[in-house]
């Protein structure tokens, strides 16, 4: 394992490199994401976990301007060049799936393949309503009761640590996020820093207004979309149906005993599917 920092503007983008083999560049948090992938995958791939600005230290108080989506994508390219990674398999989980997909559109020569995990087709109001309907119609009473119980603590915890409210939301929405709705995700978030100005802007506005269909028909890299059947945090896999015909090469896998983090919840199945897909010749 090797770790380091790449400076972009006044941000410190941490990275962690683990394993050997084809390079998989995982955008998000260099602290959180290494905890979610199996050790066995490190024997097949060289994982490069890197912060984006929402999870990076900044030497000043950042503004919304610092988190424009173009800058996020340019940071990913900066990391790729600084670490001399060559063409990469770009991977993003949840909202970071948008970063991975849009990076592949913006820098096609830098990407061989794209892996998107637990990402809804959009964060707009229509897909949010679709996700809420899915929750109301498909969820057992025990899971709903667990969410209600956890949300009772939400306002108090946010008031105590407003600077970490993104993490608090993620933990307290566990009944929507994990196949085992009693799973405690807090240890996964230990030591993760958050720039709430950036997270509010990215998740609240940028992803809400993003149209993933733009330029999709020009994307040459094959795409693997992995979703969990019990993921109630984002719009269900069917939300991607309107874009399926626009992909040059799209493979969809839905994991039966997973919610929002299939790579951890069904690690063995996830590893097998990923290795199999990456071993196939590009279409």
35 and 115 housed in the same domain: yes
Residue 17 located in a structural domain? yes
Domain shared by 247 and 168, yes or no: no
The residues annotated as belonging to the active site are 94, 231, 260
Contact 32, 171 (CB under 8 A): no
Mention every residue, 6+ apart, whose C-beta is less than 8 A from residue 258: 179, 228, 229, 230, 231, 265, 266
- Strands 223-228, 111-117: pairing is parallel
Residues 65 and 148 in one domain: no
Cβ(44)–Cβ(275) under 8 Å? yes
Same domain, 206 and 67: yes
Contact 87, 220 (CB under 8 A): no
Number of other residues whose CB lies within 10 A of the CB of residue 10: 14
DSSP tag of 214: T
Is residue 229 within 8 A of residue 256, CB to CB? The reply is yes
Question: Distance (Å, rounded) from C-alpha 16 to C-alpha 60?
Answer: 24
Give 20's DSSP letter. S
Q: Are residues 165 and 67 in the same domain?
A: no
**283 assigned to some structural domain:** no
Same domain flag for 227 and 109 = yes
Does position 282 have pLDDT exceeding 80, yes or no? no
Phi, psi of 282 (to 5 degrees): -60, 145
Name the residue among 240, 236, 207 with its Cα closest to residue 223: 240
Q: Name, in order, each residue with C-beta under 8 angstroms of 281's C-beta and a sequence gap of 6 or more.
A: none
Q: Please tell me whether residue 180 adopts helix, strand or coil conformation.
A: coil
Kindly report, residue by residue over 135-190, the tens digit of the pLDDT: 999 999 999 999 999 999 899 999 999 999 999 999 999 999 999 999 999 999 99
Residues 115 and 51 in one domain: yes
| Structural domain for 174, as ranges | 138-187
- 192 found inside a domain: no
Query: What is the chain's mean pLDDT, rounded?
Result: 96
167 and 220, same structural domain?
A: no
261 domain residue, yes or no: yes
In the chain, the number of structural domains is 2
pLDDT in tens, 201-212: 999 999 999 999
The two three-digit tokens of residue 172, written as one number: 């307290």
Angstrom CA distances, 69 to 57, 102, 193, stand at 18, 9, 20
Residues 157 and 37 in one domain: no
Instruction: Examine the domain organization and report whether 119 and 144 are in the same domain.
Output: no
Same domain, 205 and 263: yes
Q: The tokens of 73 are what?
A: 């994508």
Supply the CATH number for residue 26's domain: 3.40.50.1820
Judge contact between 49 and 30, C-beta under 8 A. Answer: yes
Computed from CA positions of residues 2, 3, 8, 9, in that sequence, does the dihedral angle turn out positive or negative? negative
Handedness of CA 70, 225, 278, 5 (dihedral sign): positive
CB-based burial of residue 128 (10 Å sphere; 0-12 exposed, 13-18 middle, 19+ buried)? Answer: middle
Q: Is 21 domain-assigned?
A: yes
The DSSP element (H or E) to which 273 belongs, if any, is helix 267-278
What is the pTM assigned to this prediction? 0.96
133: in domain:
no
Give me the phi and psi of 248, to 5 degrees please: -70, -40
In a domain, 44, yes or no: yes
List pLDDT tens digits, range 38-87: 999 999 999 999 999 999 999 999 999 999 999 999 999 999 999 999 99
Please indicate, yes or no, whether residues 71 and 182 belong to a single structural domain of this protein. no
Q: What was the pLDDT predicted at 39?
A: 94
């Amino acid at each position: 394992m090797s770790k380091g920092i790449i400076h972009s503007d006044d941000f410190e983008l941490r990275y962690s490199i683990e394993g050997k083999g084809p390079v998989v560049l995982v955008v998000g948090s260099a602290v959180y994401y290494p905890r979610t992938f199996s050790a066995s995958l490190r024997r097949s791939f060289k994982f490069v976990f890197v912060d984006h600005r929402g999870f990076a230290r900044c030497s000043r108080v950042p503004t919304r301007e610092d988190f424009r989506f173009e800058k996020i994508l340019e940071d990913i390219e900066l990391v790729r060049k600084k670490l001399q990674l060559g063409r990469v398999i770009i991977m993003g989980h949840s909202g970071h799936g948008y970063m991975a997909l849009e990076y592949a559109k913006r820098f096609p020569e830098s990407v061989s393949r794209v892996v998107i995990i637990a990402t809804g087709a959009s964060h707009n109001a229509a897909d949010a309503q679709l996700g809420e309907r899915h929750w109301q119609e498909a969820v057992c009473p025990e899971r709903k009761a667990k969410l209600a119980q956890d949300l009772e603590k939400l306002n108090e915890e946010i008031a105590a640590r407003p600077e970490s409210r993104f993490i608090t939301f993620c933990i307290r929405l566990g009944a929507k996020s994990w196949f085992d709705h009693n799973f405690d995700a807090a240890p996964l978030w230990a030591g993760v820093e958050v720039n709430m100005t950036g997270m509010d802007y990215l998740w609240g506005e940028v992803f809400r207004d993003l149209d993933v269909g733009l330029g999709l028909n020009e994307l040459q890299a094959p795409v693997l979309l992995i979703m969990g059947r019990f993921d109630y945090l984002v719009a269900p896999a069917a939300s991607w149906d309107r874009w399926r015909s626009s992909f040059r090469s799209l493979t969809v896998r839905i994991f039966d005993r997973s919610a929002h983090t299939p790579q951890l919840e069904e690690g063995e199945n996830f590893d097998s599917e990923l290795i199999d897909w990456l071993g196939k010749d590009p279409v």
